[in-house]
Amino acid sequence: MRAFIFPGQGSQAVGMGAALAEASPVALETFQEVDEALGQHLFRLMREGPADELTLTENAQPAIMANAVAMLRVLEKEGGVSLADKADFVAGHSLGEYSALCAAGAIDLATTAKLLKLRGQAMQAAVPVGEGAMAALLGADGDKAQAIADEAAEGQVCTVANDNDPNQVVISGHREAVERAAALAKDKGVKRAVMLPVSAPFHCPLMQPAAQAMEKALADARIAPPLVPVYANVTAAPVSDPDTIKALLVEQVTGRVRWRESVLAMHAAGVGQFVEFGGKVLGPMVKRTAPDAETISVISMDDIEALLKII
């Protein structure tokens, strides 16, 4: 069995999509469709930068999605294959869950781009710059990370945001609390604590204003049953019902990204091959979680052609 997976924030880079668009009219059409939906020259920003503007949450989120979906569309339209025939499940990390839903036909491309633009703006606006922070704890599992976060909170918000793999957990919350947790981690046997260069504390209760904004936006969005089940971040379980998908996307803004558990659940369901579209971040996490699984990263036209030979 096979899962198609989609990366989250941090996978953006100046130049993304440029070579693919030159090689494929399908990819270029995808980027143009996103530009039209958003009313901005996002693809030009993806191609040319500047990097600091591309890294802004409201730009990075739709850009990463557009790049991943373009890769998949080239595979499908030029390779003559369909996701429904080649994938048993889809999943994505944080914003990647929207890419997965778009890929599986649950949300159309224009709506996905608009939702992610809004999501990025709402997440950025939820907490004043400088008040929140995130840190990666390397060499810690979820339980240890949460215990450290609880001890460091001291009345502030500090909690596990991303359970990525058995050795990498990200915490999020008020800056002072996250900094206390990072300092405390060294005394608790954590290999390393790294403050992350993010503009807001994602996936924690401080994001509640953004969750409310997304609840309103998703209420008006048309979501269809996906072609294959989507493993939801907050439950690490497959979902196909549109109303449930909407509710889980709202919960995801403040909730934990249970990526490690999602990989384990897909693996237990029989998935032996994970294909990552538009990034090479999730593959290593999958390998650390399910060492006997095969991982494939699709980030170029060559990768698409290589994939076509084996699926």
Q: Where in the chain is the domain with CATH 3.40.366.10?
A: 2-126+206-308
Tell me the per-residue pLDDT of 139-167, one tens digit each, with 9 for 90 and over: 999 999 999 999 999 999 999 999 999 99
**What is the mean predicted confidence (pLDDT) over 257-272?**
98
**291: number of Cβ within 10 Å:** 7
Mean pLDDT of the chain: 96
| DSSP tag of 234 | T
Residue carrying the six token digits 């052609």: 305
For residue 186, the model assigns a pLDDT of 87
For residue 71, the model assigns a pLDDT of 97
Residue 129 reports pLDDT greater than 90: no
d(CA 2, CA 13): 27
Q: What residues form DSSP beta bridges with 99? A: none
d(CA 89, CA 225): 13
* R_g (Cα) of the chain, nearest Å: 18
Tell me the per-residue pLDDT of 170-214, one tens digit each, with 9 for 90 and over: 999 999 999 999 999 988 989 999 999 888 899 999 999 999 999
DSSP H/E element including 189: none
Structure tokens at 311: 């699926």
**What is the mean predicted confidence (pLDDT) over 1-21?**
95
The pTM of this model reads 0.96
d(CA 42, CA 54): 9
Domain 132-198: what homologous superfamily? Malonyl-CoA ACP transacylase, ACP-binding (3.30.70.250)
Residue carrying the six token digits 């309103």: 216
- Pair 57, 9: CB distance under 8 Å: yes
Catalytic residue (choose from 93, 203, 262, 267):
203
Q: Where in the chain is the domain with CATH 3.30.70.250?
A: 132-198
- Rounded to 10 degrees, the C-alpha dihedral 119/125/127/132 comes to 70
Is 203 part of the annotated catalytic residue set? yes
294-298 and 273-277: which strand pairing?
A: parallel
Is 94 part of the annotated catalytic residue set? yes
The dihedral through the CA atoms of 24, 29, 34, 38 has a sign that is positive
Which fold is adopted by the domain 2-126+206-308?
A: Malonyl-Coenzyme A Acyl Carrier Protein; domain 2 (3.40.366)
Q: Coil, strand, or helix at residue 168?
A: strand
**What is the mean predicted confidence (pLDDT) over 76-81?**
95
Catalytic residue (choose from 11, 24, 94, 172):
94
Tell me the per-residue pLDDT of 19-36, one tens digit each, with 9 for 90 and over: 999 999 999 999 999 999
Question: Do you know the residue count of the chain?
Answer: 311
Backbone angles phi, psi at 46, to 5 degrees: -65, -45
292-300: long-range contacts at Cβ-Cβ below 8 A with a sequence spacing of 24 or more? 293/263, 293/267, 298/71, 298/75, 299/71, 300/19, 300/20
